[in-house]
Amino acid sequence: MCGIVGYTGPREAYPIVLKGLKRLEYRGYDSSGVALLNGGLKVYKKKGKVAEMEESVVGKDVHSHIAIGHTRWATHGEPNDRNAHPHLSQSGEIAMIHNGIIENYAQIKQDLVAKGYLFKSDTDTEVLLNFIEDIKRNNDCNLEEAVRIALRRIVGAYCILLIHKDDPETIIAARKGSPLVIGIGKGEHFLASDASPIIEYTKEVVYVNDYEIAIVRPDELILKNLGNDKQTPFITKLDMELAAIEKGGYDHFMLKEIFEQPQTIHDCLRGRLDADAGTITMSGIEKHAAQILAAQRILIIACGTSWHAGLVAEYIIEELCRIPVEVEYASEFRYRNPIINKGDVILAISQSGETADTLVAIETAKEKGAIILGVVNVVGSSIARISDAGAYTHAGPEIGVASTKAFTAQLVVLLMTALKLAAEKGSISRDRYLLLCKELAAVPEKAELLLKADAQIKALAEKYKDARDFLYLGRGYNFPVALEGALKLKEISYIHAEGYPAAEMKHGPIALVDEELPVVFVATKDSYHEKVVSNIQEIKARKGKVIAVITEGDTITPTLADDIIVIPQADEMIAPILNVIPLQLLAYHIGVAKGLDVDKPRNLAKSVTVE
């Protein structure tokens, strides 16, 4: 949830940490702060976005060669100055930042209060920090050992960075359930929640594993487990360019990422799909194809936008592969004692690869003998590492909090996976298979054409920006697209929106319809089209405002709708990849028209690494 940055080395640390916090602000922007060593341990922190903290530090002496920084998404304690990180221990000797939740903090706090500890914040982080200091004092041990002892006793998720006033070179870090990347430079090290603050300085990184502690100095990186055994750092080379995490002339990251979709879809297909030869190469899927096809069912586990991608995949996999599919919210699945049999296939979908509920769910499933497939965007992420196989989406860094290009890349990977398995099983005809391969290969070009409607969609946004509610309707493959369209609008514009299967409209939602309610129909040509047209007529009979996403050449729907958005022709299985793009643009432009920060919508964070 929160963003963390650290630096130790010969450079000025504050500018590096500040820039890193700005790059990580999509992970949380309730408050931010830095701690550095400069004639003592100094902490500067402020409620609000990083720019507000930066402004508060102007004129202060921030010279230091070591610093840690934090941008917060609040869990324990409201967003304010005193709950902002870093926190200082009671003695003022140790500063710590933390991403995650300590579940048993209340009992630990009670014990510390009985010992005379006073707390200046409402956070679980300050409790953990004073717990570490108490262990250090009572056991007469160094900070590294105190952290190790403390982490054996706490319950929850964490990524922590600590610095001590008497050690001007060392950062102690540890993780469980929240990501940590360490960049390796020449006589310097960089620490962060993800690679975006690091890529400017080095492409050599180490992804820290759960239950590992890192002792980081300018010229030394030591990894140990909680048993104090040294671990060998595995150095990975980043496949990312600095330009990928900059706006590149766009007003917002969200708009940039929407417009990147022709390229990101192409990148997702590249090296995998050869439409002319009719081949799909996915080594992870190929290796486990026999086990997947022998499974009695496939369970798709995801959250949010990724859950919507899973719903589309359910339709596609059942149609093409004839394997039963269930789609589960990870947050529900992990708590309801689900029935998992050995040989079941668990397909986990996550943009970040760090989604806490999804990660715990697949860990449980793996213990019960399930085969784990991961569809993630971030290389080296926790879900990628725990999976038996899977595929990266290659969408590149997604900075905007509302997912756009990651969603369409997920749909592409899931469709290729289904086609690969169907061909292996023989449950699809060769002609149908080749047609879908060619249709899929044409998606980047069609997406490029579709984006030319941006000005038209911007005009629609101006027309409907003052609506209080929206209804999104679709059938079949387009029902999850309706859900995703509604979610985007809620996230970005704060307008209440609901997505429904179009046929379910008559079972309640139609009561909301009047001349003030915009109803968005995903009404492209498919096997349900005539039924959807009937649903449109039912809305118009009640004076609702209809915005219809239609297929090029449709002459019927435009006569019924108040406004239309035209999509290039595509097979109904391919169409969701295209149909969602104008809905992303509509949400974006409505948010901008309302004067909102579309890259950082209130109360949201990009990567949900807490339960």
Distance set, CA 166 to CA 221, 371, 492, 533 (Å): 19, 49, 46, 72
Q: What gap in Å lies between CA 171 and CA 217, rounded to an integer?
A: 7
Give residue 606's pLDDT band: very low, low, confident or very high (50, 70, 90).
Answer: low
> Strands 220-225, 230-231: parallel, antiparallel or unpaired by DSSP?
antiparallel
> Who wins on pLDDT, 409 or 606?
409
Give residue 244's pLDDT band: very low, low, confident or very high (50, 70, 90).
Answer: low
Helices (H) and strands (E) in the chain, counts: 20, 27
The residue to which tokens 């609040």 are assigned = 74
Which pLDDT value is given to residue 76?
65
Q: Tell me the helix, strand and coil percentages in the chain, rounded to 5.
A: 40, 25, 35
Asked if pLDDT for residue 544 goes beyond 90, the answer is no
Judge whether 123 and 79 are in contact, CB under 8 Å.
no
The residue to which tokens 């439409």 are assigned = 275
Which pLDDT value is given to residue 242?
63
Asked if pLDDT for residue 608 goes beyond 60, the answer is no
Q: In sequence order, what DSSP letters do the residues of 304-368 get, joined into one string? A: HHHHHHHHHHHHHHHHHH---EEEEEHHHHTTS-----TT-EEEEEESSS--HHHHHHHHHHHHT
Judge whether 111 and 154 are in contact, CB under 8 Å.
no
Which pLDDT value is given to residue 415?
97
> Who wins on pLDDT, 196 or 577?
577
Asked if pLDDT for residue 607 goes beyond 60, the answer is no
Q: What gap in Å lies between CA 523 and CA 535, rounded to an integer?
A: 10
Sort 248 into a burial class: Cβ within 10 Å, 0-12 / 13-18 / 19+: exposed
| Gyration radius of the chain's alpha carbons | 25
Asked if pLDDT for residue 341 goes beyond 50, the answer is yes
Judge whether 419 and 433 are in contact, CB under 8 Å.
yes
- Three-state SS at 498: strand
Pick from 222-226, 277-281, 380-384, 393-397: least confident: 380-384
Asked if pLDDT for residue 27 goes beyond 80, the answer is no
Q: What gap in Å lies between CA 183 and CA 209, rounded to an integer?
A: 15
Mean pLDDT of 405-417: 96
User: SS3 letters for 247-295?
Assistant: CCCCCCHHHHHHHCHHHHHHHHHCCCEECCCCEECCHHHHHCHHHHHHC
Asked if pLDDT for residue 73 goes beyond 80, the answer is no
Asked if pLDDT for residue 204 goes beyond 50, the answer is yes
Which pLDDT value is given to residue 386?
86
Whether 268 sits among the annotated catalytic residues: the reply is no
Which pLDDT value is given to residue 156?
87
Distance of CA 434 to the CA centre of its chain: 33
pLDDT tens per residue across span 447-505:
999 999 999 999 999 999 999 999 999 999 999 999 999 999 999 999 999 999 888 87
Spatial neighbors of 58 by CB under 8 A, at least 6 apart, are: none
Distance of CA 196 to the CA centre of its chain: 14
Distance set, CA 464 to CA 414, 458, 586 (Å): 33, 10, 10
Which pLDDT value is given to residue 189?
97
Q: What gap in Å lies between CA 348 and CA 298, rounded to an integer?
A: 10
pLDDT tens per residue across span 94-147:
999 998 888 899 999 999 999 999 999 989 999 999 999 999 999 999 999 999
In the set 42, 165, 600, 606, the catalytic residue is: 606
Mean pLDDT of 403-423: 96
- Three-state SS at 53: helix
Residue of 411, 425, 393, 452 whose CA lies nearest to 574: 411
Mean pLDDT of 195-203: 90
Which pLDDT value is given to residue 609?
47
Which pLDDT value is given to residue 90?
93
Mean pLDDT across the chain: 90
Amino acid letter, 43: V
Distance set, CA 176 to CA 102, 227, 386, 444 (Å): 11, 15, 14, 38
Residues above pLDDT 90, as percent of the chain: 64
Q: What gap in Å lies between CA 493 and CA 489, rounded to an integer?
A: 6
Judge whether 379 and 392 are in contact, CB under 8 Å.
yes
Q: What gap in Å lies between CA 111 and CA 550, rounded to an integer?
A: 63
Whether 159 sits among the annotated catalytic residues: the reply is no
Mean pLDDT of 376-387: 83
Strand ranges (E), 502-553 = 518-522, 545-551
Which pLDDT value is given to residue 497?
94
Please, what are the domains in the chain? 3-98+159-243 (3.60.20.10), 253-593 (3.40.50.10490)
Judge whether 565 and 557 are in contact, CB under 8 Å.
no
Pick from 63-77, 307-321, 413-427: least confident: 63-77
Asked if pLDDT for residue 610 goes beyond 60, the answer is no
> Who wins on pLDDT, 359 or 276?
276
Which stretch, 74-78, 184-188, 196-200, 390-394, has highest mean pLDDT?
184-188
Asked if pLDDT for residue 245 goes beyond 70, the answer is no
Asked if pLDDT for residue 358 goes beyond 90, the answer is no
Q: What gap in Å lies between CA 83 and CA 46, rounded to an integer?
A: 9
For residue 235, what is the DSSP state? E
Which pLDDT value is given to residue 605?
61
226-232: which pairs have CB atoms within 8 A and are 24 or more residues apart?
226/148, 226/151, 226/152, 228/148
Q: What gap in Å lies between CA 101 and CA 242, rounded to an integer?
A: 31
Sort 298 into a burial class: Cβ within 10 Å, 0-12 / 13-18 / 19+: buried
> Computed from CA positions of residues 599, 329, 154, 141, in that sequence, does the dihedral angle turn out positive or negative?
negative
In the set 2, 268, 303, 437, the catalytic residue is: 2
pLDDT tens per residue across span 249-272:
888 989 999 999 999 999 999 999
